[in-house]
Structures are given as C-alpha cells and as structure tokens.
Amino acid sequence: MNQVIDRGFFKLEEQSSSESSRTSREKIWTLTLNVSGEKVNKLSTKVMSQFKALLPELEALGSESKIDALILLSGKPGQFIAGADLELIQSVSSPEQAEELSREGQKLMDCWEDLSFPTVAAIEGPALGGGCEFSLASTAILMSNDPVARMGLPEVLLGLIPGMGGTIRLPRKIGLTGALDLILTGRTLNANQAYQIGLIEGSLPQQGFKDSVIQWTRKNLQSMKAGNRLAKVPKMPLLGEVGGSFRSFFEKSPIQSLILNQVQKRILAKTKGHYPAPFEILNVIRSTQVGYGEKLRGKARSLALEREAQGFGKVATTEISKNLIRLFFLTEKMKKSNGLQSGLLVPEHRIEKAVVLGAGVMGGGIAQLFAEKEISTRMKDVHLQALSAGIQSAAKIFKKNVKKRKLTQRQYLQKLNLIAPVMDYSGFSSVDVVVEAVVENMDLKKKLFAELEEKVQINCVMASNTSSLSISEMQVGLKYPDRLVGMHFFNPVSKMPLIEVIRGEKTSDSVVASIFQFSKKLGKTPIVVKDSPGFLVNRLLASYLNEAVYLVADGVSIPEIDRILLKFGMPMGPMELIDEVGVDVGQKVSQILYEAFGERLKPCSLNAKVVAAGRLGKKNGKGLYEYQGSQKTKVFDPKVEEIIEFKSSPSIFSEEEVLDRCLLPMINEAARCLEEEIVQSASEIDLGMIMGMGFPPFRGGLLRFADTLGIDTVVQRLKKYQAKSGVRFEPSIPLMKRAQNGQKFY
C-alpha cells in the first residue's frame, strides 16, 4: 500500500514501482501542489507557510532513507506554479518589509535545495517567477513539450527583480549571458528552447507526462545523487568555466565585467533610466559573481542571496513597480471580461473566417494579423496594385519574424497562404466577420455595408475600422444594424496592442462581446468605447498633439518639445508622432474634433503651412522632420522653421511648463470622457492611453499620473494657463468637481 500524506494544498505520495522496474527498490515520491479555489497555483503566504511546515517531514523521510527522490507536480492540469502572490507584494509598504518577504522565500528554497535526496520539478504549465525559482532550486527540471508549459522570470516587467534566488541560481546554471537575457527581458521559454540553453534536464511528451517523469527520475537517480550535470551545456560558455570544467571559481573575470558594462549601456539607452529594476538586476548579478558553474552552498550562498533580498527590497516598494503591477491587474481583469458592463454572459459569434475590405495601410496590416493567428482571410480591394502591396506588406512582417526565428520558412508560407486576395464578393457567404478598412468616407462605407448585407450570412459580424466616423450613422438604413460595430485598430497593426471596440446605438451585446473576445484572440487589448467623435484615444491624442503645435507657435523649438516629452517617458515626442500619423491625416482628424467639440480643440494653423509645403510626414520623407535614406533616419531640417515662420520665444519656457501644456489638457479632456461615459472607468482610460499612444507604463497611465500630481494642482495650473492662453485650458466641470470634493480618479 503506497503511503499518502495530505498537508493542506500539498499532497505527498509514494509511487509504486513500474512493471519494468519492479525489481528496483528506488523509493520515488511525488509532491503535488493544488491550491484549492484558484485557477492557478500562486505562492501565497498560506502556500508558503504550509510548505514550511512540510519541510521537516521531508527532511525526516530523507534521514530515515524512506525516500530516494521527490517529484514536484501541479495538481491542476496544464499548470505548474504561476508565480508569487502579486497582491501580497503590492501590499508591502517598506523596503525592509519587502526584503524580509524575499528572505523568507529564499530560506524555503534553500531548504528544498538542501534536502538529502534529489528533487525534480515536473512542469506541465507556466512556471513563472517564483515557480521558475522553485524549479531552479530543484536538482533537475523536466518540462512537458506542450506549448502551455513555459518557464521564465518576468519580474522585470513588473518593476521587480527575482527575489527567491533566481538572480543567483539562473546564471550558475545557464551562464551569464543566457541568464541576463532571460531576467532582463522577462521572456519565457518552451521546453525545447529551455532544453537548448541548458535550463532543463529534459523535455518529455505531454502524453503520459507524469509516468515519463517517474521513469526519467529512476533512470537518472544515481547521476543526480552524484551531482552530475544532466542538462545540456549551453553553447555560450558559462562564464567562469574553463575547458568544460564546472568547478573553476572565477571572480570578476574581465569578460564578465565587459558583458555587464555593455548590457548596462543598452539598458540605459532602452529605458532612459526610467526603470530601476533592470539596473538593480545587473547590480545584484555584478556583486554576486562567485562560483559560476556550480551550485552555491553555505556562506557564499547566504551572502549572495542577501544581496538579492536587498535588491528586491529596493525596487518592490517603488511607485514604478506599484504602477506596473496595477497595470498587470488591469490587463488580467480585461482578459476575464467579455466587454459588457453588465457582466452578462451572452451567446457569442464564432469567428474563424474573415474578410478584410481594403488592402491599404490598415487593411494589409489587419489581414497579416488575422493570418498570423491562423484565421483564413479574404482581402478585397478595387485596385489590383493595392492588393499586391497589401500582400507584400504582410509578407514583409512575416519575413521579419522568420529572421527573428519566431517563424520557420514553412510556417511563413503557410500563414501567408491564408490571405486570399480578391476583387469580387466570391466566398463571402461563408465568412464570420468582415472588417472594413477602405478610405475614410461615410458615403462609401455606407454603400459598402449595404452591399455586404446581401453577400454575407445572417450571423456574420460587420466591423468598421473607421478612425473618426460615426458607427451609429453607418447603421442607418441597414437591415440588421445590430451586427455592425467599430473595431478600431491602431497603426502599425502588428505593433500597437490596443483595439477600441465601438458600440453604435444599435449594436447588440452579443456583437460587442464577440468582437471583444475576438480582439483578445488576436493578442490585443480591447476596450469598449462609446460612439463619439475621436472615440477615446484619438480625442485625447488630438488635445495633446494640438497643444504641442501651439507650443511651437509660441516659440519652443520642435526638437526641444520632443526632447522634453521623451524625457518624461513617451516612446516618441509629439512632433515625431505627428509625422508618423501623417501631418495631413492629423490635420483632418483635428478638424473633425474641432467641429464636434468647439474652441477648446481648435487646431493650430501652423500644421496647415507644413501640409501646404507638401510635407506630409514620414510617409513622404518630410514633415516636421526630414527622413533620410532607406532607414528613414530622422533629422531636424531647419527649412521647416522657415515654412512655419518660427520665432524662438524670448520668454524661456521651463520643462515643467512644456509638460503641463501638453499633458494637462489631455487630463482635462479625459475627465470629460469619463463624465460622458465614453468608457466606464478611469482604468480603461489608462489602459487605452498606455496601449494606444504609449503613455509611459511606469507612470501608471494618464489618470494615475493626474492623481500623483493632485487634482487640485491640475486645476490650479490649468487656470494659470487659461489666464494666458484662453479656453484650451479651461478646467472642465467634472475635473473641478473632483478637485472640490477632494476626489481622485482612483
């Protein structure tokens, strides 16, 4: 009779010998973690305290020689350990408290590592953060080749550093360069990738995974006990290792220092110093470079781990980390939602086959995305040339992915073949969704939707990618207006993560929910937005870009404005962004918003001069900047100052003033959007601005930033600018009400 010991979420179980090894006497046990009431296993306080209580029992079993090897498993199919409990980390308020949290976790991992018998982490799902660190403290790691099994240390994406020994154990197992890559990018690996770099000892088939793990453990028991390396030796040398020996002990080798210095430079260029976690990771790794190529024990391990705990304490309570964790929770919430405010479950349309109408900039991008996600797509245009350009632009994106080894040549061809270019309506009767991306013209769009109604089946959803036209207006005259919805992608489609799902007056719940879910399936972040001019993002963006242009008119130079906003953390300055969008396109959108909302969004006349001079932006090589060569390198062209008759201001604008003028009107407009229920919550505005315009994530989003400034301060400063520059800065009533009531956005 096999022994079973139940300890809360943990179950310890002796495994009987298999038929083939009935004669063998190895005593293999499994330890299964299954946190009840949760979809995934997280390392919460309760889990950790149960584990702590279990450790002496494990040690006793070992000393009584009742156990030869222990396999750590998840009791949830397709899961392992998804990481630490982020709510717990979020609630920590002082660096000392955070350090202590890290120390507690490290101690448990040390005890696991020090057990007198080998341990094997058997991973069938996400082993992230703490889950990955738990595995690293095991003698061996085995992974299922199911794609859901992934390993990684994504802490850096949350403004954190690994705090349970990850920064110490990973470089020792896979070498410095591989470890830096994983810890600094937060990327995750599947079984094959993990095996190739020597992170795991084996990749096993998903079918019969547990049995194979037990078999593997029996087979490799002696080698594990002897401390032999069973994982592949990474191609990149383990720094500190010479001639294949894993015993050398190099401290601060010049190559290591060189690599660390190079990486530091790259991080600085990429983060512009806004994110402290990557630097802290480097500092921890830099100051714990001992014993590469072998497991650390004793004092060396304690010292190294203590340095990690201090690093964790430093970053875990920063505003930056709190903002990034909040953002993570927001996206998780979105993943669980179907986009309906009521939360009601409604029948959803199945979307497997699609049509994209229009093969231009957006149509080509949307078709590529659909094919990428294995959705069979017909792309229709009235011009053969446009179709050919659309296919070419899709191919270009796929080819880039082949180059980055994200796709094989075969997969690239298979995916590209999913896009069928057509000039007629053949095959339309079997599709589930049509996304319209033809030129921005209401009459044309209405005519096309009326035609489409006759060609598609009754359940087909019709979506428009319009950036400024009313969805409700497009519904007028349709037989089934309830199936028309806005699906607003951002340019470039392959890179921009946001989709605004626009609910027209007559759009049904079921269609909103279907497009919301479909957007997630495409790997995007959807937000449901009311049908109103500029929807959410373009309306706020217009107030931002408009004010930046007014600043130029007031005498702040184009490069200076961009420099200040880049320093604030925007991915590109507003002037460069205007060029990206197209100076002419921006001008049109601004005009529409001016007509809708009046004087406060009146466009500055300056851009009209740039358009009149034929400078349309990056697309034709000249806009507010000039774009040179095949790489379209941005350079400042003083000629543009002649065109706009630029006069540098005699009164010097401070950086704060430039930031205020660009950002405060956006906050003001966002307060109006909330009042008008363009979206339902401040968090949707923040998500929209981060995903749709690249508002710096570490600032937590536009309204979170407003809260940090203080609503009263925002109102007072707006009033100051209103006195100088008029109605564009007039504080909105909802914002003033908030200030009066001392009410924040969060």
Ligand X SMILES: NC(=O)c1ccc[n+]([C@@H]2O[C@H](COP(=O)([O-])OP(=O)(O)OC[C@H]3O[C@@H](n4cnc5c(N)ncnc54)[C@H](O)[C@@H]3O)[C@@H](O)[C@H]2O)c1
Restricting to residues 461-480, which ones interact with ligand X according to CB under 6 A? 465-467
**Region near ligand X per CB under 6 A, out of 4-12, 314-322, 357-365, 693-701:** 357-365
**Least distance CB 359 / ligand X (angstroms):** 5
**For ligand X, the closer CB: 446 or 563:** 446
Residue 630 makes CB contacts below 8 A (sequence gap 6+) with none
**Region near ligand X per CB under 6 A, out of 376-384, 540-548, 590-598, 641-649:** 376-384
Using rule CB under 6 A, residue 59 touches ligand X: no
Site size toward ligand X, by CB under 6 A: 22
- The residue sitting closest to ligand X, measured at its beta carbon, is 360
**Least distance CB 500 / ligand X (angstroms):** 9
**Least distance CB 362 / ligand X (angstroms):** 3
**Region near ligand X per CB under 6 A, out of 91-99, 239-247, 378-386, 568-576:** 378-386
CA–CA separation, 440 and 358 (whole Å) = 11
**CA–CA distance from 603 to each of 544, 562, 599, 615 (Å)?**
11, 19, 9, 18
Residue 514 makes CB contacts below 8 A (sequence gap 6+) with 348, 349, 351, 461
**Least distance CB 385 / ligand X (angstroms):** 8
**Region near ligand X per CB under 6 A, out of 205-213, 377-385, 652-660, 666-674:** 377-385
Alpha-carbon radius of gyration of the chain: 29
Amino acid 124 reads E
**Region near ligand X per CB under 6 A, out of 317-325, 375-383, 498-506, 675-683:** 375-383
Residue 693 makes CB contacts below 8 A (sequence gap 6+) with 537, 540, 541, 544, 577
* 3 state SS of 738: helix
**For ligand X, the closer CB: 315 or 359:** 359
Restricting to residues 429-448, which ones interact with ligand X according to CB under 6 A? 437-440, 448
- Strands 461-464, 433-436: pairing is parallel
CA–CA separation, 465 and 715 (whole Å) = 35
The torsion angle over the Cα atoms of residues 77, 81, 82 and 85, rounded to 10 degrees, is 130
Query: Distance between terminal CA atoms of the chain?
Result: 57
Q: Write out the H or E segment, with its range, that includes residue 623.
A: none
**Least distance CB 434 / ligand X (angstroms):** 11
**Least distance CB 94 / ligand X (angstroms):** 45
Using rule CB under 6 A, residue 382 touches ligand X: yes
Using rule CB under 6 A, residue 357 touches ligand X: yes
**Least distance CB 460 / ligand X (angstroms):** 17
485's tokens: 């919805």
Output phi, psi for 458, to 5 deg: -60, -30
Using rule CB under 6 A, residue 593 touches ligand X: no
Out of 145, 331, 411, 491, point to the residue binding ligand X (CB under 6 A).
Answer: 491
Using rule CB under 6 A, residue 381 touches ligand X: yes
**For ligand X, the closer CB: 95 or 621:** 621
**CA–CA distance from 327 to each of 86, 118, 129, 437, 696 (Å)?**
12, 39, 17, 30, 11
Choose the catalytic residue: 274, 349, 383, 488: 488
**Region near ligand X per CB under 6 A, out of 6-14, 51-59, 244-252, 353-361:** 353-361
Per the CB < 8 A criterion, the answer to whether 704 and 583 are in contact is no
Using rule CB under 6 A, residue 258 touches ligand X: no
**For ligand X, the closer CB: 278 or 534:** 534
Nearest CA among 80, 77, 78 for reference residue 141: 80
* Cα 591 versus chain centre, distance: 33
CB atoms within 10 A of CB 332: 11
- Examine the residue annotation and report whether 274 is marked as an active-site residue of this protein: no
Out of 386, 551, 561, 667, point to the residue binding ligand X (CB under 6 A).
Answer: 386
What is the contact surface with ligand X in residues (CB under 6 A)? 357-363, 380-383, 386, 437-440, 448, 465-467, 489, 491
Please identify every residue annotated as catalytic.
Answer: 488
